Structure 1
Amino acid sequence: MERREVAAVLAYLGRLDPRTIRTDTGEARDQIAQWHELLSDVPLATSHGWDVRQAVRAHVLASPYPILPVDIARAWRAWRRDRLNRHTDPTPASDPDNPAAWRAELLGTRHAVATGAAAPSTHREITSGPSAGLEARLAAIGSCIPPAVRAELAPYRPARAAREAAIAAGGPDVLSVACPCDWCRAPAGEPCRSRRLDLTGGARGNARRTTPHPTRADLAAATRQEAAA
């Protein structure tokens, strides 16, 4: 802030907290000089959220003590730190083979965010897409999970392992249809459940089954035959 801006802030503060008013000309001049020395790198306001008047008003409402210039300087640093923490460094438009231009644009964007001249970019974006080599590897594997890793995960997800084994053996995808059992009614895509009832008819258990109900397997096979016909 410039000296005239510091004087305007002190005038605004005097209306909110009369304890900060200096009636003597020399004291007022010294007060402006002190505040300008500590707040020369703090802007009066930015186009993206910072305003010294808001910081002054918040301090007056929250603290019984007169505000000091260091309070505003700390509020400004906390505001800058928060914005930089929310900034995710979007990919520069410069040629990545030109490190100097790439770094200059990256630092320029961060400086604009830190000074309030630009809003932080809060979403990471993938602009280049997957590489050709990755697409070829996925096409060869058929899944983003390699077979060796899928085999290691099989003991921890038996229902999915049984489903994949049945499909690999040429059988129908049993979980592609809803279970018709009255005591299960598992929707499509969800494994069957073993429900236990108490003497009053209420459910005591609802555990997932590793294998689907036979009626569901029959329904999946019939649905597959109808689709093939």
Structure 2
Amino acid sequence: MDRREVAAVLTYVGRLDPRLIRTDEGEARSQLNTWHELLEDVPMATGQGWDVRQTSRKRIVSSPYPILPADVAREWQTYYRERLARHTDPTPMADPDDPETWRAELLARRDAVAAGHAAPSEHRELTAGRHRPGLKDQLAAVGSYIPAAVRAELAPYRPARAAREAAIATGGPDVLAVPCEWCHADTGEPCRRRRISLDGSARGNAPRATAHPGRIDRALAAQAQAPAA
């Protein structure tokens, strides 16, 4: 702020808190010099939510002590750091083979964000923009990260998963998407054989290749209630 803007701020805060009013010309000049020294780098207002008058008013309302220029300067530093913390430096439009221009554009954008002249570029912009042509077709061609031939070779070693994948491929329910009330298997875990001895203790807990009938019924019910894609 220049001296005229600082004088306007002093007039405003003096109207809200008469203790800041200086009637002596020398004292008023000294007060203006002090405020201008500390607030010279602080803007009066920006288009991104900063306003010295609002900041001063909040300070006067929240504190019983007279407001100091350092209070306003500290609020500006907090505003400044918070905006830079949310900024992710989007890729400049300049040619990356021209490092000086590329860096100048990067720093100019950062200074504009910190000064409140531009909005921060947050993390969502990292995935914004146009996709490369043909990307969806390439992803569809890749399919699963496990090739079909390898998946077939692994099927004998993980029968529960193989049965689950086969059922889903034919339009059946995902039985592991619901817990089993019979063997108490959690969601995503295969059912287990529960062998109970005569005294009530468990004698076996081996995983089953197929789910218990009750779990299949619950999966069918969940599939029927699911909204159509």
- Residue 1 of structure 2 is aligned to residue 6 of structure 1: no
Counterpart for residue 120 of structure 1: 120
Letter in 1 for 2:103: R
Counterpart for residue 168 of structure 2: 173
Letter in 1 for 2:88: T
Q: Conserved in 2, the CA contact under 8 Å of 1:94 and 1:101?
A: yes
SS of alignment partner, residue 124 of structure 1: helix
Letter in 2 for 1:48: Q
| Alignment gaps of 5+ in structure 2 | 191-209, 221-229
Counterpart for residue 143 of structure 1: 144
Counterpart for residue 224 of structure 1: none
Alpha-carbon displacement from aligned partner over 1:88-117 (angstroms, at most 9, x marks no partner) = 212221222222222111111100001111
Letter in 2 for 1:195: E
- Residue 101 of structure 2 is aligned to residue 101 of structure 1: yes
* Identical-pair percentage: 50
Q: Distance in 2 between matches of 1:36 and 1:128?
A: 47
Q: Conserved in 2, the CA contact under 8 Å of 1:195 and 1:207?
A: no
Counterpart for residue 225 of structure 1: none
Q: Superposition RMSD on alpha carbons, in Å?
A: 3.7
Q: Conserved in 2, the CA contact under 8 Å of 1:14 and 1:20?
A: yes
Name the CA shift for 1:166/1:190 in 2 (closer, same or farther; >3 Å): closer
Count of aligned positions: 188
Q: Distance in 2 between matches of 1:83 and 1:213?
A: 55
Q: Conserved in 2, the CA contact under 8 Å of 1:192 and 1:213?
A: no
Letter in 2 for 1:67: I
SS of alignment partner, residue 181 of structure 2: strand
Name the CA shift for 1:4/1:130 in 2 (closer, same or farther; >3 Å): same
Name the CA shift for 1:192/1:45 in 2 (closer, same or farther; >3 Å): closer
SS of alignment partner, residue 165 of structure 1: helix
- Residue 181 of structure 2 is aligned to residue 195 of structure 1: yes
Q: Conserved in 1, the CA contact under 8 Å of 2:164 and 2:175?
A: no
Name the CA shift for 1:90/1:22 in 2 (closer, same or farther; >3 Å): same
Alpha-carbon displacement from aligned partner over 1:32-85 (angstroms, at most 9, x marks no partner) = 011111111111111111110011011101111111111111110100111111
Query: TM-score scaled to structure 1, two decimals?
Result: 0.67
Q: CA deviation at 1:207?
A: 3.7
Q: Distance in 2 between matches of 1:21 and 1:146?
A: 79
Letter in 1 for 2:125: R
Q: CA deviation at 1:22?
A: 0.3
Q: Distance in 2 between matches of 1:175 and 1:163?
A: 16
Q: CA deviation at 1:176?
A: 4.2
Q: Conserved in 2, the CA contact under 8 Å of 1:9 and 1:53?
A: yes
